[in-house]
Amino acid sequence: MSTPEELSIQMAHQSAIRSMQRIVEQQAQPHPNAEARAGVQAQLDRGNVLVMTGAGVSTDSGIPDYRGPNGSLQRHRPMTYQEFKYRPEARQRYWARGFVGWRHMFRAEPNAIHHRLVRWEEEGRISGIITQNVDGLHQQAGSKTVIPVHGDLSIVRCLDCGKSEDRQHFDDRLQELNVGYLEAVDVDPSAINPDGDVELPQYLVDRFVMGNCLYCGSLALKPDVVYFGESVPAERKEQIARLEESSDSLLVLGSSLAVMSGYKILLNFVKRGLPVSLVTNGHVRGEQKATWRWRVPLDQALSQLH
């Protein structure tokens, strides 16, 4: 019979599975293109807009999204926090796959959307960016006020002692432990998942040699990102709340807001009676609550804004 702790872990795992499998369907019609464009432009002209970005912002950099028609959820279920923490064989599988996939993400470069947001910040149009992406491309492009709500793939943290290590440094150590491994793998870059891993046959997973924590020797190392089934750190929630409070409107770019960490921000602005605009090529959770709904590819939308 399962213990109360085991039952709690299993319930959290199942809840995480339901969250990642949530399908966002149409809840409201988009506004006509010209009206939506004018509404978003007026919002930017007033300034102090908080921008929230999702996977759609990084697809032009070669990083796939999650829930789009060609998104990674069509072929791959991300690992839950409960699997990662309590199943060593799951961690082995993640790090073998991540060792291969992460370097493809590491080579990704900011695209025109990232650079446009840098310009808007310099012009005072936007107050900052809350991003659901873990690729670090906003920071790489030069945006100053960025809160990565789901963390950053470029950092590795020990689940036992809490100490962290730069991902590139950790990758260098893994390469020393796995000489010849990368040469044995043939990877299609389009198959890389947004969390930086890629499917591998089991014999390659078994062959992979994992590195340990530099501080305590543990093998329980995890990329410093928020997994499904894991809570956003309290300090980061406080940073988000402060940025929300100091902003006058919300602009969502390329996100379905399927997970609560993003949807809650929309709800907070709606509760305050402040404008909310959604610019995406798909449906958005809570879209019926938005002031403006502009359903158009992001690159097309931003080419019409100044």
Residues identified as active-site: 150
And the tokens for 230? 């894991």
And the tokens for 299? 């690159």
- Residue 248 to residue 265: CA distance in whole angstroms: 13
Instruction: Please name which of 240, 244, 265 lies closest in space to residue 255, comparing C-alpha atoms.
Output: 265
And the tokens for 50? 């908080």
The answer to whether 278 and 292 have CB atoms below 8 angstroms apart is: yes
